[in-house]
Structures are given as structure tokens and as C-alpha cells.
């Protein structure tokens, strides 16, 4: 199957399954959205959504977050993975936003990635979902499925992002990002997955890939 045909079929399945793509992380404004994205690293969205209401009641702006002690932040988010590091980053990020950006979330990759705890993936999510600026964030689900479907060689997330941007039109990036995440969670798990029965793997994965995963 030619890659263009595969991409079109993948997109059709995703659009049929997920015609709407709501943002799964609860938030109150652009700043709290960025906080939620930062917290979601190595943690489920469900767990993040359980702790952020309390956190946002205490601090829903950078100035309010900067006024909290690191220990207070850590206590609120303690059930989230890497809580001590994330608490330090949240306080420092809030201080940076107040000091450098008048308490506003910047709208460039360079400025976002200078903030404590904000890497390229987090910056990409904020850019595309909060500001509508084209980006294709790649998380573990997207990286894994892109390799499984033969849309990227799977060597690293940088290459996967580059490949997906080349395959999908720019105006689809925002929804494809969320659709693939949803699909990975609901239809395409990393382990004990029958690729022949999968709505996408059944036509997108190579025979060699199907054999390898069956044996693995």
C-alpha cells in the first residue's frame, strides 16, 4: 500500500471513530492548561484531572502559583508521578512567567521551551491546542502507533514528528494528535494486541510487523 493511501485510510478511520476531539485535560485558562500538560508527563490524564481542581482553587494564575511554597504544591499533586520535581518546576515556571512575561503564557516555541519543566512536546501541545498554532505533539502513544502503522521508522520522537508533519496536512495536525492518542488508549494497546483485528493495524501494519508482535 502506498503511504499516501495508507495515510488517507488512517485518517478516515480516525474521523469515523472520533469526529469530535475534546481536550482531555481539565483546565480554566491557557496557564492552567499548560500546568495540566506539564503534570501529565508519565501520569494518566485521569489522575491529573483528579488533582488539578484542588491545585487550581489555590492557584489558577502564575502569580498565585509563585506565591505557594514548593511543599504546598507537592502535597497537592503528591499522587502524580515525579511530584517533587514537578512541584519545583511549577513554582519556578510561575516565577518566570511573572518575571519575564507579565504573567502571560508566551506564544512562541523558543519562549515556552525556556520555562522550567516545559520541553518540546509540552510546548507543542500548548501551541496547537491553546493558541491554534500548527504543531504535531508526539507522545508515547503517537510514537508507538506511528511505528506500528509504518508511518515512521520509530527511531525517536523527533523523527516521528517530522514524518507525521510530512504525511498529514497542516490543518489536520491538531485533531490527528488527539485522535491517535484516543485510538491508542481505546483500540491499540502496547501489549497483547491482535494487529489483525485492529481497525487500523489490520491494513496499516506490515506482515513483518504483525509477525514480530505476535512472536513478541
Q: Which domains does the chain have, with CATH numbers?
A: 3-20+136-215 (1.10.1670.10), 30-130 (1.10.340.30)
pLDDT, one tens digit per residue, over 166-185 is: 999 999 999 999 999 999 99
From residue 151, alpha-carbon distances to 7, 125, 186, 201 in Å are: 8, 21, 20, 11
Residue with the three cell numbers 511530584: 83
Active site residues: 121, 139
Confidence of residue 141 (pLDDT cuts 50, 70, 90): confident
CA-to-CA distance for 51 and 69, rounded, in angstroms?
Answer: 17
Mean confidence (pLDDT) of the chain: 95
The model's pTM:
0.93
**CA distance to 11, 63, 104, 119, per residue, from 101 (Å):** 38, 11, 5, 18
In this model, does residue 207 exceed pLDDT 80?
yes
Q: Return the pLDDT at 216.
A: 60
Q: What number of residues does the chain have?
A: 216
152, exposed or middle or buried, with CB in 10 Å at 0-12, 13-18, 19+?
buried
Q: Name every residue whose Cβ is closer than 8 Å to that of residue 66 and which is 6 or more positions away in sequence.
A: 91, 94, 95, 97, 98
Q: How far apart are CA 13 and CA 54, in angstroms?
A: 37
Amino acid at each position: 500500500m502506498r503511504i499516501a493511501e495508507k495515510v488517507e485510510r488512517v485518517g478516515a478511520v480516525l474521523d469515523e471513530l472520533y469526529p469530535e476531539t475534546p481536550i482531555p485535560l481539565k483546565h480554566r485558562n491557557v496557564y492552567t492548561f499548560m500546568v495540566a500538560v506539564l503534570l501529565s508527563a508519565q501520569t494518566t490524564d485521569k489522575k491529573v484531572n483528579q488533582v488539578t481542581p484542588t491545585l487550581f482553587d489555590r492557584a489558577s494564575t502564575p502569580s498565585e502559583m509563585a506565591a505557594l511554597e514548593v511543599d504546598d504544591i507537592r502535597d497537592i499533586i503528591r499522587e502524580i508521578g515525579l511530584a517533587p520535581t514537578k512541584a519545583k518546576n511549577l513554582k519556578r515556571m510561575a516565577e518566570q512567567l511573572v518575571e519575564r512575561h507579565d504573567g502571560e503564557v508566551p506564544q512562541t516555541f523558543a519562549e515556552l521551551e525556556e520555562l522550567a519543566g516545559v520541553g518540546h512536546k509540552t510546548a507543542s501541545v500548548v501551541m496547537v491546542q491553546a493558541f491554534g498554532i500548527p504543531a504535531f505533539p508526539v507522545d508515547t502513544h503517537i510514537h508507538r502507533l506511528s511505528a506500528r502503522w509504518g508511518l515512521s521508522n520509530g527511531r525517536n520522537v523527533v523523527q516521528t514528528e517530522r514524518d507525521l508533519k510530512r504525511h498529514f496536512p497542516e490543518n489536520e495536525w491538531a485533531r490527528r494528535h488527539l485522535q491517535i492518542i484516543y485510538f491508542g488508549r481505546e483500540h491499540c494497546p502496547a501489549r497483547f494486541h491482535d494487529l489483525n483485528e485492529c481497525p487500523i493495524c489490520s491494513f496499516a501494519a506490515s506482515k513483518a510487523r504483525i509477525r514480530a508482535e505476535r512472536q513478541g
